[in-house]
Structures are given as structure tokens and as C-alpha cells.
């Protein structure tokens, strides 16, 4: 493994500092320290977990000025966006504090004995939920607060009773270390073991691989690329004792816009969609990467769709995205756009930016047949871009969705009135997505009880789980059934030993 790596200014490429990468011994020590902290933390009360999570939220807010300034240097996301993201992160921590305090991690099902022979008769049973153990948490690049060191995965795991070992993202390494130092201060103040939240860092993939292979790690949570997530998921499955790997990966998030809706308010929707495509320089897992237009259903459907494409192109041309998170991401974005052209897409908006300047928005258009047959057109292009695909019928639109395979979101505009076609489109959307929208745009993921941020492959490795919202807690618990348990154990009411 490389022994050093650098922090860069995302706007200028200037080296901000050089850091020492975690060694194999460092990774071993962090994982073992988490394992040592596990017995204490799994037996902790909901109130104790809530106290820690609230203190971490308060620590973020206290350190806001320095943290946001450093995050802005390393990510170029801007202070407005970063302050909002810090607020969301503090909200997540407090929400999981409330969940822990309400006793949700200790929920249990009491199934009293029924006299008689089976199958009707059965012994007394209780079904508990217990923490999995130390969790390896892989931080994301595009949300340096909300999906990083103190993001939703860390909050959910701690609320569930699991220690965490964080693999920091090399895109914002100094922010990572500063946030982790804040955590250590809080742990010390509460007389909790430092190993409850560990940190490993490095630009080499070896750091993340060694962490997921460590025998003390009981589960892993990841947010990032499909390629990186798939590699780590394979490592988790290949261990002598395989562990669950909860990966939130790439997604192209189709938007299906019915012609009647576009005819009624196409200009408004074009403006809204352009803002979503370029939000955060398009570096969102929920970026609307594919727009499906239906050239059927109205006599003038094709003309309506043509007009919308022009409106969207004009709206996009007026956007000014900021610099991308890293040079590597910019390189991949440019390559992905080039692959569209090589696969036969026609560019509607494709202004080449000046050397050293942020990317310009890209809009391309392609036939349904090409989209379904050429893989390059279905791969995520992470950045301010979107691909228009024209469908000749509802049946073809459904084929397009099946070709996508799996997505975090599908948006259906114009489904207000029920019909057989609308039912079919909604059914098709639900078949491939974790979240289906009927208004607005997919960017922006609410932290709430009913949220589902995860879908079929390739959008995630576990379509039954979510990385955002209250149910994210469930990933780090497993069920245990207690049969004819003694009174002292039942008296614990689901709280692990």
C-alpha cells in the first residue's frame, strides 16, 4: 500500500496537505478496538446511545465554521450547500437518537406458549433484534457530511448498538480527520472507548479491501460507484465467514414524462429538470440521467416532445455548474459523454468548457432501440448530463425500464388520472426502483420514516434495505428467537446482554 496520499483543492488542484495512509497494523488495531467496544455498546441503553448521537450533532454545529471552510476547499461544493448538508447530518444524528431513545432497536415480539401438540401447539417464544457487531462504513465523496464520517450509516449503526470503523474517502481526507477528531473528543467526554468509532484512511483500494476482510468486522455499509461497491461486496462474500454488505451504488434514475403533462407545463418542467440535472454539478446518486419521452398518447405527442427537448436544452445551456469533486471524476465524466457519442447519441447541448474550467451541461438524445442494445448508453455518467430516450409506445417504455434493470428512483410525470397505460407504467416503475415519484425531481432524499433509498441491482446490493430514513437502522440488527427463556432474560424486554 502507498504510505502517503494528498488532500487537494477541488477548484485549483493545489495540494493542501499530505497525509499518512493507514497501514495493515492500523487497520487491524481499529477493527480490534471496535470489537473490544462491542460488548459495552450492544448492552447500552437507548438513552445512552441517544446521548452520544446528540452530542455528536452538537459537536458538528459547534465546529461548523472550520468544518465547512475545509469541506469547501476539498470539494468545491460551496458554503451554502455545505451548511445545508451539515444541518441535514445533525438532523439525522438527532433523529436516530430519538429512535434509540424510543427503544426501537430493542423491539421484540412476544409469542406465548400454546398448549397441545404441534403444529398448533408451541413453546413460549420471543423474537429479539440484536446488533450485528462492528460495521465497516465506507464514506462517499459527494456528500462530505451526510454520507461521510458522521453520516446516516454511522448514525444508524451506533443507534443499533454497533461500533463503527470508518474508511474515509480520499476526496476530502483533511475534513475526515477533523470530523473524526471531533468524535474522539465527544467519546472521551462521555467516558466511552475510543474504538467505538475508528478511522482508517488512504487512497489505495487496499485499505478498503483489508478492512472488509478483517474477521472482527460483522457488516459493511458503502455508498459509491457500482464498480467499487461490487468489488467490496465480492470480498465480503468471499470471507471464510461472509458478512452482509449494504452497498448503495450507481443509478440513472429514469424520468418518464407523458406528453399531456408536457403539453400543459413543459417549460416549467424543463426549468425544474435542468436544475436537478446540474445540482451539485450533477454529482448526485439520484441525478435524473435518463428522460423517457412517449411519442404516443396524443395526436401531436411527437411535436410536444420535440418542443420539450428544445426547452430543456435552453434551460440547461443557462446553467453554470461548479467544479467537480476530483480530477478523476471530471475525467470519467468526459469519457462517459464521449461514449454516448460513440454509441450513436445525438447531442442537443454539448458545449466544451475552456481548459481548467468546470464542465458544461450535456444533453443528448437517442432512439429506444439503441438505448436497449448498447450498454454504454445505460451506464451512469456521473455529472451534469442527461440522455433523452424516445419511446414509440407504452410497451416500449416498459421495455426501456427493464433494460435499466434497477434504479434508486423512477419519476412518472402525468400519472394523476388512472388508466390501463398509467397503471402499467407505475407497475413497471415499481418493479425496478426503490422510490417512485409522481411530482418534482428525484434529487433530494428526505430523512423520514417511509423513505426507501435502495433498489434492485445495479442501484444497490440489497434491494430490501435502505441507506436513508428510519429503516436504515434495521440493516445492523439481526433476529434471534428465545424459546422458553428464563424470567430474568425476558425481563430485559429485548435489550441485549
3.30.230.10, 3.40.309.10, 3.30.70.890, 3.30.870.10: CATH of 254-437 = 3.40.309.10
| Preceding peptide of 458 cis, ω within 30° | yes
**pLDDT for 1:** 62
DSSP 242-280: ---EEEE-----EEEE-HHHHHHHHHHHHHHHHHHHHGG
Provide the pLDDT for residue 458. 94
Element containing residue 395 per DSSP (H, E): helix 394-404
Distance CA 139, CA 302 (A): 44
Q: Which residue has the cell 458545449?
A: 351
For residue 2, what pLDDT is reported? 72
pLDDT tens per residue, range 305-316 = 999 999 999 999
User: Which grid coordinates are listed for 438?
Assistant: 409522481
Residues of the chain with pLDDT under 70: 1
Whether domain 4-249+460-490 has CATH 3.40.190.290: the reply is: no
What was the pLDDT predicted at 348?
Answer: 97
Strands 385-391, 362-367: pairing kind? parallel
DSSP 352: P
Instruction: Show me where the domains of the chain are located.
Output: 4-249+460-490, 254-437
Q: Which residues are catalytic?
A: 248, 285
Amino acid at each position: 500500500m502507498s504510505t502517503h496520499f494528498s488532500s487537494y483543492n477541488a477548484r485549483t488542484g493545489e495540494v493542501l496537505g499530505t497525509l499518512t495512509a493507514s497501514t495493515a497494523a492500523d487497520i487491524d488495531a481499529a477493527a480490534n478496538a471496535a470489537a473490544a467496544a462491542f460488548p459495552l455498546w450492544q448492552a447500552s441503553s437507548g438513552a445512552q446511545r441517544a446521548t452520544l448521537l446528540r452530542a455528536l450533532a452538537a459537536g458538528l454545529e459547534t465546529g461548523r465554521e472550520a468544518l465547512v471552510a475545509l469541506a469547501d476547499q476539498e470539494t468545491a461544493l460551496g458554503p451554502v450547500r455545505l451548511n445545508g448538508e451539515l444541518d441535514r447530518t445533525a438532523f439525522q444524528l438527532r433523529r436516530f437518537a430519538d429512535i434509540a431513545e424510543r427503544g426501537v432497536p430493542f423491539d421484540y415480539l412476544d409469542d406465548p406458549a400454546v398448549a397441545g401438540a404441534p403444529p398448533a401447539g408451541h413453546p413460549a417464544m420471543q423474537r429479539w433484534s440484536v446488533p450485528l457487531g462492528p460495521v465497516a462504513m465506507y464514506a462517499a465523496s459527494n456528500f462530505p457530511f451526510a454520507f461521510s464520517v458522521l453520516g446516516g450509516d454511522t448514525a444508524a449503526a451506533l443507534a443499533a448498538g454497533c461500533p463503527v470503523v470508518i474508511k474515509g474517502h480520499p476526496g476530502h481526507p483533511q475534513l475526515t480527520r477533523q470530523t473524526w477528531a471531533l468524535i474522539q473528543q465527544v467519546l472521551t467526554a462521555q467516558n466511552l472507548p475510543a474504538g467505538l468509532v475508528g478511522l482508517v484512511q488512504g487512497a489505495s483500494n487496499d485499505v478498503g479491501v483489508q478492512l472488509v476482510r478483517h474477521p472482527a468486522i460483522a457488516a459493511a455499509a458503502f455508498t459509491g460507484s457500482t464498480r467499487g461497491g461490487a468489488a467490496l461486496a465480492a470480498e465480503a462474500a468471499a470471507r471464510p465467514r461472509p458478512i452482509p454488505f449494504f452497498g448503495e451504488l450507481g443509478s440513472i434514475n429514469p424520468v418518464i414524462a407523458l406528453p399531456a403533462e408536457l403539453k400543459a407545463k413543459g417549460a416549467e418542467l424543463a426549468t425544474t429538470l435542468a436544475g436537478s440535472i446540474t445540482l451539485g454539478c450533477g454529482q448526485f446518486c439520484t441525478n435524473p440521467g435518463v428522460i423517457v419521452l412517449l411519442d404516443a398518447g396524443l395526436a401531436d405527442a411527437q411535436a410536444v416532445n420535440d418542443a420539450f427537448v428544445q426547452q430543456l436544452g435552453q434551460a440547461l445551456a443557462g446553467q453554470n455548474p461548479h467544479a467537480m469533486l476530483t480530477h478523476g471524476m471530471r475525467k470519467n465524466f468526459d469519457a462517459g459523454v464521449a461514449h454516448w457519442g460513440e454509441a450513436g447519441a445525438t447531442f442537443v447541448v454539448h458545449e466544451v468548457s475552456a481548459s481548467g474550467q468546470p464542465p458544461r451541461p450535456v444533453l443528448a438524445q437517442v432512439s429506444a432501440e439503441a438505448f436497449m442494445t448498447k450498454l454504454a448508453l445505460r451506464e451512469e455518467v456521473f455529472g451534469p448530463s442527461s440522455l433523452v430516450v424516445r419511446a414509440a409506445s407504452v410497451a416500449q417504455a416498459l421495455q426501456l425500464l427493464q433494460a435499466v434493470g434497477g434504479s434508486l428512483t423512477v419519476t412518472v410525470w402525468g400519472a394523476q388520472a388512472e388508466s390501463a397505460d398509467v397503471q402499467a407504467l407505475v407497475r413497471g416503475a415499481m418493479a425496478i426502483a426503490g422510490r417512485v415519484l409522481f411530482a418534482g425531481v428525484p434529487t433530494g432524499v428526505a430523512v423520514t420514516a417511509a423513505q426507501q433509498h435502495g433498489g434492485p441491482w445495479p442501484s444497490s446490493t440489497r434491494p430490501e434495505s435502505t441507506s436513508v430514513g428510519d429503516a436504515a437502522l434495521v440493516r445492523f440488527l439481526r433476529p434471534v428467537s428465545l424459546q422458553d427463556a428464563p424470567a430474568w432474560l425476558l425481563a430485559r424486554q429485548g435489550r441485549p446482554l
